Structure 1
Amino acid sequence: MQLEEEIRNIIEKESEDYFLGTADLSVSKNPMIHQYGSLIDEYPRAISFGITLPYINTCNLFKDYSKIYKNTNCKLRAISNQLTNLLENGGYKAFPVPKSKIVDITFTSLHKLAANQANLGRIDDNGLLITPEVGPGVNWGTVLTDACL
């Protein structure tokens, strides 16, 4: 229980409006997760966290989203690094999943798969993770670990 509180505290320092969940990927029946084979064998559990993207004016859509994603990616990277340090200092293995540069809309990232397995949303036909609260308006991060969560 203390580990979960420390994880939540780390995330709350970076963002007030966030999602957080954990999943045991080793027992998942999703075939897309099994493509990560040995990575999941070594780090069977995922800490999935997301930062809600603010609503933006559609006039400057591309420019605004570019800034927003840079900002949230920096926050997600900081959270990933802090969570990794917390887990490793506690004697666990941890692997911060890097953000992908792939822009193909059909690509489903490990971030979305982990968030889906943590029951934070469903993966839509277009590959976006849809949350009940804000739809697809979340930027996701993931740390894989062997810690019991």
Structure 2
Amino acid sequence: MEFENTIRKIIEKECEDYFLGVADLSSAEDGILKQYESFFDEYPRAISIGITLPYKNTDELIGKNTKVYNEINQQLNSITVHLSSLLQQEGYKTLSVPKTEKLDDGSFISLHKLAANLANLGEIEKNGLLVTPEVGTRVNWGTILTDAPIEAANQ
């Protein structure tokens, strides 16, 4: 709980409207475990951080106003790098997962969506989008894989 408070303080320096969860990656479905098994052996948990996209003109935001979209991605990068450094200073292994532009052909679930789903932050729909109860799909996700013994939402 103390570490979660530290994480929240770091995130809140960057943004106000966010999601935070921790996932035990071993609880992923077998097919997904096979896709990522080498990662999950080394990093059994994930910290999932989501920053809510602005409500006004969100559809236009992604297509036309990449400045705001890029600023949110920079916030996520700043947060995940800071948290990764903090965990590494404590002696834990971490891997900050970079944002990807596109998924291949839809048969691949991104680590960001998987971690957020396993941390009980949203559900992955048939179309591959992660939907949160609060704001739907209007969230950009950042993920840190780690071996730190932090309590996961799905334990």
TM-score with structure 1 setting the length? 0.91
Note the residue ranges of structure 2 that are not aligned, 5 or more in a row.
151-155
Find the residue that maps to 1:35 and give its secondary structure: helix
Deviations 1:83-102 (A, max 9, x none): 10010011111100111132
Aligned residues: 148
1:15 alignment counterpart: 15
89 and 32 in structure 1: CA distance in 2 versus 1, 3 angstrom threshold: same
1:94–1:69 CA distance, 2 compared to 1 (3 A): same
C-alpha contact (below 8 Å) 1:33/1:110 kept by paired residues: no
Spell out structure 1 runs of 4+ moving beyond 4 A: 58-61
Asked if 1:117 corresponds to 2:118, the answer is yes
Question: How far did 1:108 drift?
Answer: 2.4
Partner residue in 1 for 2:67 = 67
Helix, strand or coil: the match of 1:48? strand
Separation of aligned partners in 2, 1:57 and 1:104: 27
Q: CA RMSD in A?
A: 1.8
**CA distance change for structure 1 residues 56 and 82 in 2, over 3 Å: closer, same or farther?**
same
Label 1:60 to 1:69 Cα distance change in 2 as closer, same or farther (>3 A): closer
Query: Equivalent residue for 2:146?
Result: 145
Corresponding residue for residue 45 of structure 1: 45
Any residues of structure 2 matched to 1:21-32 within 5 Å, and which?
Answer: 21-29=21-29, 31-32=31-32
**Structural mapping, 1:94-109, within 5 Å:** 94-102=94-102, 106=106, 107-109=108-110
3-state SS in 2 of match to 1:113: helix
Identity of aligned residues (%): 59
Q: Which runs of 5+ in 1 are unaligned?
A: none
Distance change in 2, residues 1:13/1:100 (3 Å): same
Amino acid at match of 1:57: N
Bigger shift: residues 75-84 or 103-112: 103-112
Provide the C-alpha distance between the structure 2 equivalents of 1:135 and 1:20, rounded to a whole number of angstroms.
Answer: 15
Matched residue type, 1:144: L
Q: Is the 8 A contact 2:96 2:145 kept in 1?
A: yes
**Residues of 2 paired with 1:88 and 1:29: CA distance?**
28
User: Could you tell me which residue of structure 2 aligns to residue 130 of structure 1?
Assistant: 131
The answer to which of 25-34 and 123-132 deviates more is 25-34
Give the superposition deviation at 1:60.
Answer: 4.8
Q: What is the Cα deviation at residue 80 of structure 1?
A: 0.8
- Paired residue type of 1:79: I
Amino acid at match of 2:12: E
2:138 and 2:33 map into 1 onto residues whose CA distance is 23
Q: What TM-score do you get using the length of structure 2 for normalisation?
A: 0.88
Rounded Cα–Cα distance in structure 2 between residues aligned with 1:144 and 1:59: 30
